Structure 1
């Protein structure tokens, strides 16, 4: 007989702790998880607004640890701090933050506030809407619904809890001794997660369960129960000794306002009891023939006499004394039931399914952090936490597993003219994810064998396939090569594949290369090779996450798609001297998207997408940016445009396709990098050497 969920809880906690302990033990090893800076984002809606472009070239040749010394104070007095947006599994991101590196010290014990809004175990699939220009002139905009993420778990709530426990353990390691954590959930799994939090943080460190009146649920007659209308937010502190707390206030309700009906020179007030509600109050007499409160006075006599002197306490013969309670200009101290924050204001909706309102995070961040405190959200979603932390002068970290979510956050921060921040990813992300999915002792060859099976290829014999990454299609003479998740698939891999096609086992008609990560120039390399018998396909980026959920390979084979590459082309960049400056003229040429079959769309939405691809492929660009002095390592987006920005033109559904940048003059060749992200979160870039 299988165990009930309640019976499984001790084992779930124990295994979660063990997983977290393995991660913590690995932090000192040379194979520890690290973060790679993909981009340094300098928010600017147009080239005119910012002066970053007009700094001397030397300003951009500094290492990332010292690039922003004047922007933000540091957690370490020697190394300045940069806010960061991190793409990837938050378990790996937290491991990297705990480990630290040569640029950033470990953040263990440095985070003052964590707010997370994890999946709710709702058994629902969430979708995002993407509005694109119509496929024909004068046509209404095309709206595409894209799968965002699935809130379903292979073993139900047990596997959900197995996911959350090791993450809570690492969050506790990151929290400062005066830090606190808020976990936002609802009825689906909140009560179970609270038990997990009691185990990780200690029941004695529970502070509040906040009830927030969120969106109203099903109000139809068929709903035979009380209507669901609230979420629960669990607040815990790191230690019992102290934690950051600033009083926050709510406006008085209409009913409360009416109680303050009297006024004097001190303002509006109401008369309230001085009875001690729990009994055992102070016993004394004023000598005016007044009656004693039933439970005694709630304040000592010294306080009562002071109030009497100031006219706050009213004492009359034959009556129980009462005191004036003045209406505060700040409002009433915040209770743990929040009905005054609406779910979302119309003008702040950005189309992300689980977006939370700014006012909700303003209250939490104001209460539990100070100026320059470090705030983190490891389920970043729509980016409300980062946006509010930025607004309130807090330092911040936001992570998310989804590329669309990271794009939403990046655009949102640029839109509010945030301070420069880092966009980072997990180093060797696929390798680290594979260790999580397949065990720490996995071998790359094991993963290659799985990929071959999912593609429908049979592995070659061991003597012809020592790396265990070669296979063949059962019918015909097609060779399949699976590249390592630890490598960038580029020109060298393509040449190796062509050589194997022509020589291995007497030769093959065709070779297919399956890759995880690609050199930015891969599209141009394919064009240059111009070989019709060479195919390069992308291994589904969410494959490892699917493997973590222990789905059967046969089921996965039916669900996943290997897709063609996406790449961007840019017209030759023009460079013109203008005094001490020079002007760069950059124009996008074309964008080739991954096959629509690879994207999680239904048939109707895939057809809409194909129309846009055929008619105006550049309309699929969500964001593009320029680094006029690319060093080959860290991209610095010193100019950018994105859909929804109307500073550069009046079209909210398209990016501009051309840009002119005025930059300090430079002798010799200038290396310019153009990076684009499409509406589905796929990146591509072009590097040009401009004479």
Structure 2
């Protein structure tokens, strides 16, 4: 199944190589036919994301995951960038099939360094082309150097047995009249053609020229053919034989078959995306579909598997879908994942699997020497929450603590995994058994959460469980201010989870014996603006929207009217900017009617994603 993965591409590729028994995915080692990547070029790039709400424009800063990834990528400049890209290129080689191709899109900042790595990993003998793409735009107003208007795309293959489908340029209208002037010969059948020299009768024809003609295969071994042999061989009428046998035999290029010149490695006919372009998804590094169409057509066939591990705006997967290829794409940015998901839905692609992998706060903690001095991360979080740790003699698990003067148990979840229903169950069991049990309440502090966590909380709502969010910028604050100052300032706030409120589903049995389900959203509660990566002025604006128009925060919502409790299968969805359902680009529609085959009972699952990428899920039991 095609798939979109939110997470670190290193972990994604490791998972693809290992396979996934849970989803029935075998190892893809040696199974990928084409990889295109467009990794970040410049450490000075602005990774903020614009968020447009009714009457408010916000600038969302990178999430903790993105901040960690980008900081790690550029910490030591070019050296750390190459440390980042090298192991990823190694894994890409492992994924490629023997006939596989890889295209690495880069610019002048690090291009020459990356070329050295590619030579090392794929071998100089498997280097096919350095493609120069003239973007028809760029830094023209540079008064101290020549303006930069090109990107470089390095093309390598896994072996000599690679897929390549050569294309010809599409001829512009301006050039057609000039071309027609070449097609002046006519054998009397009305078909105009031009004559290109091939060989003299006394010389040896070139195999590369012979094989250019469709259907041409030499009938004999060797290439020393006489004039008469070649004339007898030319049953397709693609050669011109002069009456004088000493003159040169020429190839016929018919005007009605002319397909333009072979595409070379200088691409000047593909324009960058502008904000008014029909294909624009308002993503800063979006590449034009024409660029990916050329690459995918040239280096893959229908049904082949195409991968892009720096997914960005999703152009590679979108074009692969249109051209009948299978695809896998991923990105570490939540905004990118959201843009891609909406783009694929808008394109009405075949069903695809959406997955997430990896959390990175623990790595950020252990990579910071200053933070390591303050002790175990769970102990730090307990202290900032106002809880005390148990002594090792009391409880060996250092993730547990308690609030002094109360019977409230506190559990800090691991930062390198999602807080899930299993986490909540473990907390409830600890409440009943730890140190004899008899705890009034258990508070779970988590970093990142499974999208269906609200369903788990609802399941255990009678067990006195409270789930709170650890501030996503906590590690950054610890690094800048230190543990003791944060304790003294009391500026660290733990927020409740965001959640979606859905009205009870109304069921009408129509005349066809179907159930018509009326499904509508009632409210959306976002976690505190303090836990959103925004500047202070934008947090104030967000608070106003949360109070006045909370549903406008919903970026996308979808419905599975027959949820099996395991896999969410979307059968209806809407998102902002989708004006097919209404004319308001800043709001979704918040109610819909779905006709389904009759069932006495069913589970209706509603999933929503807000403008910051947070997901919520609600399951409703419906009796018809």
- Output the TM-score relative to the length of structure 2: 0.78
Partner of 2:449: 517
CA contact (8 A) 1:672 1:687 kept: yes
Q: Offset at 1:482? A: 0.9
Residue by residue over 1:57-92, the C-alpha shift from the partner in whole angstroms, topping out at 9 and shown as x without a partner, is xxxxxxxxxxxxxxxxxxxxxxxxx11111211111
Structure 1 residues 366 and 651 mapped into 2: Cα distance closer, same or farther (>3 Å)?
same
Aligned to 1:207: 128
Map 1:22-101; keep pairs closer than 5 Å.
82-101=1-20
In the alignment, the residues of structure 2 paired with residue 469 and residue 300 of structure 1 have an alpha-carbon distance, to the nearest angstrom, of 82
Question: How far apart are residue 252 of structure 1 and its match?
Answer: 4.4
Deviations 1:592-623 (A, max 9, x none): 11222222222343333222212111011111
Higher mean Cα deviation, 448-457 or 599-608? 448-457
Separation of aligned partners in 2, 1:343 and 1:314: 52
Are residues 672 and 91 of structure 1, via their aligned partners in 2, closer, same or farther at CA, if it must alter by over 3 Å? same
Paired residues of 2:139 and 2:149 also in contact (CA < 8 A): no
Partner of 2:552: 619
Matched position secondary structure for 1:249: coil
Hey, what's the Cα distance between the residues in 2 that align with 1:94 and 1:388? 21
In 2 relative to 1, CA 486–408 (structure 1 residues): closer, same or farther, beyond 3 Å? closer
Residue 318 of structure 2 is aligned to residue 398 of structure 1:
no
Pick from 146, 164, 176 the counterpart of residue 60 of structure 2.
146
Aligned to 1:675: 607
| 326-335 or 415-424, larger mean C-alpha shift | 326-335
Give, in whole Å, the separation in 1 of the partners of 2:196 and 2:380. 72
- Please say if residues 227 and 245 of structure 2, whose CA atoms lie closer than 8 Å, have aligned partners that are also in contact: no
Q: Which residue of 1 aligns with 2:616?
A: 684
Q: Does 1:571 align with 2:495?
A: no
**Cα distance per residue 1:362-420 (max 9 Å; x no partner):** 00000000011111111111010110000000111111112221121111111111111
Instruction: Note if 1:448 corresponds to 2:378.
Output: yes
Q: Distance in 2 between matches of 1:393 and 1:618?
A: 37
Aligned to 2:151: 231
Q: Is the 8 A contact 1:627 1:635 kept in 2?
A: yes
Deviations, residues 124-150 of structure 1 (Å, cap 9, x unaligned): 22233222222xxxxxxx332323556
What is the match of residue 335 of structure 1?
A: 264
Structure 2: gaps of 5 or more residues: 206-222
* Alpha-carbon distance in 2 for matches of 1:321, 1:472: 93
Instruction: Provide the residue aligned with 2:469 in structure 1.
Output: 537
Change (3 A) 1:256 1:316: farther
| Residue in structure 1 matched with residue 517 of structure 2 by the alignment | 584
Q: Against the structure 1 CA distance between its residues 661 and 310, is the aligned structure 2 distance closer, same or farther, given a 3 Å change threshold? A: closer
CA-atom RMSD, angstroms? Answer: 4.4
Instruction: Work out whether residues 184 and 194 of structure 2, in 8 Å CA contact, stay in contact via their aligned partners in 1.
Output: no
Once residues 109 and 78 of structure 2 are traced to their aligned partners in structure 1, the CA distance between those partners, rounded to angstroms, is: 9
1:314-368, CA deviations, whole angstroms, 9 ceiling, x for partnerless residues? 9999x99999877763111111111100011522111111111000000000000
Partner of 2:30 in structure 1? 109
How far, CA to CA, are the matches of 1:260 and 1:452 in structure 2? Answer: 79
**CA–CA distance in structure 2, aligned partners of residues 459 and 314 of structure 1:** 101
- The answer to whether the Cα contact below 8 Å between 1:621 and 1:678 also exists between their aligned partners in 2 is yes
Q: Is the 8 A contact 1:84 1:396 kept in 2?
A: yes
1:129 paired residue among 19, 38, 50: 50
SS at match of 1:462: coil
Q: Check whether the contact 2:36–2:307 (CA below 8 A) recurs between aligned residues.
A: yes
Where does residue 246 of structure 1 map in the other structure?
A: 165
What is the DSSP-based 3-state SS (H/G/I as helix, E as strand, rest coil) of the residue aligned with 2:569?
strand
Contact kept in structure 1, 2:467 and 2:497, CA below 8 Å: no
CA spacing shift, 1:309–1:662, aligned 2, 3 Å: closer
Contact residue 587 and residue 659 of structure 1 kept, 8 A? yes
Is the 8 Å Cα contact of residues 239 and 249 (structure 2) preserved in structure 1? no
d(CA) in 1 for partners of 2:539, 2:390? 36
Counterpart secondary structure, 1:184: strand
Given the alignment of the two structures, is residue 261 of structure 1 paired with residue 191 of structure 2, yes or no?
A: no
Using the size of structure 1 for normalisation, the TM-score is: 0.71
Cα shift readout 1:561-618 (whole Å, capped 9, x = no counterpart): 8654211011111122224211111110110112222222223433332222121110
The one of 400, 404, 412 equivalent to 1:482 is 412
C-alpha distance in structure 2 between counterparts of 1:575 and 1:283, whole Å: 80
Query: Does the Cα contact within 8 Å between 1:497 and 1:511 map onto a contact in 2?
Result: no
Task: Verify the 8 A CA contact 2:312 2:340 in the aligned structure 1.
Answer: yes
Contact 1:498–1:511 (Cα < 8 Å) also in 2: no
Does the aligned pair in 1 maintain the 2:431–2:441 contact within 8 Å? no
- Could you give the per-residue CA deviations for residues 264-286 of structure 1, whole angstroms, max 9, x where no partner exists? 1467888888899xxxx9699xx
Provide the secondary structure at the position in 1 that maps to 2:12. helix
Partner of 1:665: 598
Aligned: 1:630 with 2:551: no
Secondary structure of the corresponding residue to residue 632 of structure 1: coil
CA contact (8 A) 2:555 2:609 kept: yes
Which residue among 42, 55, 80 is the counterpart of 1:159? 80
Distance 2:329 2:399 in 1: 36
Counterpart of 2:313 in structure 1 is: 382
Note closer, same or farther for the CA distance 1:597–1:314 as it changes in structure 2 (3 Å cut). Answer: farther
Partners of 1:121 and 1:157 within 8 A in 2:
no
Please state whether the residue corresponding to 1:196 is helix, strand or coil.
helix
Matches within 5 A, 1:595-606: 595-606=528-539
3-state SS, counterpart of residue 386 of structure 1? helix
Is the contact between residue 125 and residue 147 of structure 1 (CA under 8 Å) also seen in structure 2?
A: no
Alpha-carbon displacement from aligned partner over 1:516-540 (angstroms, at most 9, x marks no partner): 3252336657987899xx6712453
Decide whether the 8 Å contact of 1:127 with 1:147 is kept in 2.
yes
